[in-house]
Structure 1
């Protein structure tokens, strides 16, 4: 899931990438949106290689939809995995599906067309949900870390604390936190005036790419966006780290058998968190230090945003025996009924 939500790429002059055959001008997209649309430039320079990227993204998107939908289905229909952990996991899978759906289909359609446009309201809705779902996913990972902390460090109170109302409150809090970190920068972006040509040099309405089209100085927008990005990053990161420090201290006082069981309980979530934050750090460093072409930056951002939604179902399925067995039971339950062999009857005359 993408973590560097608001300002992932360094600023560059608009003239360096906007085509010169468009008429310059300005428009306040709040009050005069009629007839105005953004042009999504995408990966126009890849040529025939766009077909290869299209196939890779399409297959990845199908796997994301199938794997995460399977987790949601088995978590909601199999009574044998009714623990809070699977409730949170199914919500994370739902967010992953919605998050990738805000970007990948647009990129797939852009790879098949030479010119792709998006309306002003559609662009800002896409931008809002892109940011909001990313932050919400981080918040759900934090809730899952708290769930693992309770299960290992305070197992006797786990069932009494993690009731259904509490689970619903935690999920509602995750969505509210996403909205809290998204609304201020998204509202500022919506209220801005934008100068033509309205070409977004990305495969979707990426916040930093759209911000470069603002008429005038956007320094305040950058500060606000970066501030809320840091709030989303640091608050979730610190809480997850604290949870695992407390889990580690509790495990140090356990016996070998209990310790192995605790490791198995936390392994999948810890792997997902490590991949997510590790990939985010790599992308941030590569964007700030590396000398990459704009097309490479777009591909890297797309692959990174799809990485954890793609890997989550695989990691949890491989590391969690209960989930594997539930998926297997579901597959057997919906398998076409086989015709039982006819028994031979021996008659005695």
Structure 2
């Protein structure tokens, strides 16, 4: 029985691996810094203690966890000759990868509902999206992600692995791992498409539909309110397209390997979590004001200490 797998990674060229390390290390550090800064800013600014920013804090937290599941291992493999991962480590990667991925998909759907209520029913927004409802929705989001991840991971680890050990990627995911199983995996492949693929496609359709309703309702709004609402919706749609595009590409087709898989996976695990703080801060006036206030407060504290 196989006790460890070999990750083929992005390149077998040592010089290219060093270049990739120098490229992705700053990206990872910026991802952590950007998302943590968003969380700290929202916690410290009382004006941002609203349902929208409560969900945004959860999104930033998920992005930090999501990128930390795969990128640190990828960075260490760039500097090592043997790119191996234990069977237990591979299972852990698959579990947490699908936990945070599915949780983020559900959270993006909840955020679209939050924007729908805020824009289409503003008079009852704080009543509908009260603190208790936000906590219940967040709990349901995490519960759904956990159930989904447990289902996929348990199906994968029950398969026998007795021969091939090479995973043609830089992290463990269900589709490339089950290709190494020493048994017929047709049923599991169908379950993956009907589970992960269906979740991605349905959530994407719901999100696009909800934003379509929002855009229709904005036709009769004043220009300033309409501009702010459109800016928020555009930010959400950008994140949704980038994130769900990967899930639909990977999990909504038969388990065959394409040359584009690694590029899409890199964008999904390393680039998208970095773009989220950029999209939500540069396009959001409230966040920019809160960041400026937080930075000004820190400068004032430092000057007093001196």
Normalised by the length of structure 1, the TM-score is 0.80
Comparing 241-250 and 93-102, the one that deviates more: 241-250
- In structure 2, do the counterparts of structure 1 residues 327 and 255 end up closer, same or farther at CA, with 3 Å as the change threshold? closer
- In structure 2, do the counterparts of structure 1 residues 132 and 85 end up closer, same or farther at CA, with 3 Å as the change threshold? same
RMSD: 2.6
1:178 corresponds to 2:149: no
Deviation digits for residues 36-58 of structure 1 (CA, Å, limit 9, x no counterpart): 22222324522311111111110
Aligned residues: 304
1:304 corresponds to 2:268: yes
- In structure 2, do the counterparts of structure 1 residues 282 and 199 end up closer, same or farther at CA, with 3 Å as the change threshold? closer
1:337 is matched with 302
What is the distance in 2 between the residues matched to 1:85 and 1:264? 14
Deviation digits for residues 163-184 of structure 1 (CA, Å, limit 9, x no counterpart): 1111111111111221233222
CA contact (8 A) 2:246 2:265 kept: no
What is the distance in 2 between the residues matched to 1:222 and 1:40? 21
Q: Secondary structure at the match of 2:303?
A: coil
What is the distance in 2 between the residues matched to 1:279 and 1:37? 27
Which of 66, 82, 101 matches 1:99? 66
In the TM superposition, residue 248 of structure 1 has moved relative to its aligned partner by: 1.8
Question: As a proportion of its length, which structure holds more helix?
Answer: 2
What is the distance in 2 between the residues matched to 1:116 and 1:158? 51
Q: Choose between structure 1 and 2 for higher RCO, CA contacts under 8 A separated by at least 6 residues.
A: 1
Structure with greater Cα Rg: 1
Structure 2: tracts of 5 or more residues without a match = none
What is the distance in 2 between the residues matched to 1:102 and 1:337? 35
Which of 101, 118, 143 matches 2:85? 118
Counterparts of 1:37-48 in structure 2, within 5 Å, are 37-48=4-15
- In structure 2, do the counterparts of structure 1 residues 280 and 182 end up closer, same or farther at CA, with 3 Å as the change threshold? closer
Comparing 177-186 and 64-73, the one that deviates more: 177-186
Q: Secondary structure at the match of 2:302?
A: coil
CA contact (8 A) 2:7 2:168 kept: yes
What is the distance in 2 between the residues matched to 1:289 and 1:299? 15
1:149 is matched with 116
1:328 is matched with 292
Structure 1: tracts of 5 or more residues without a match = 1-25, 28-35, 341-349
What is the distance in 2 between the residues matched to 1:111 and 1:233? 31
- In structure 2, do the counterparts of structure 1 residues 310 and 82 end up closer, same or farther at CA, with 3 Å as the change threshold? same
1:313 is matched with 277
1:256 is matched with 223
What is the distance in 1 between the residues matched to 2:188 and 2:159? 10
In the TM superposition, residue 86 of structure 1 has moved relative to its aligned partner by: 0.7
CA contact (8 A) 2:7 2:84 kept: yes
In the TM superposition, residue 186 of structure 1 has moved relative to its aligned partner by: 1.3
CA contact (8 A) 1:103 1:204 kept: yes
In the TM superposition, residue 160 of structure 1 has moved relative to its aligned partner by: 0.8
CA contact (8 A) 1:181 1:231 kept: no
1:137 is matched with 104
CA contact (8 A) 1:131 1:182 kept: yes
Q: Secondary structure at the match of 2:14?
A: coil
1:214 is matched with 181
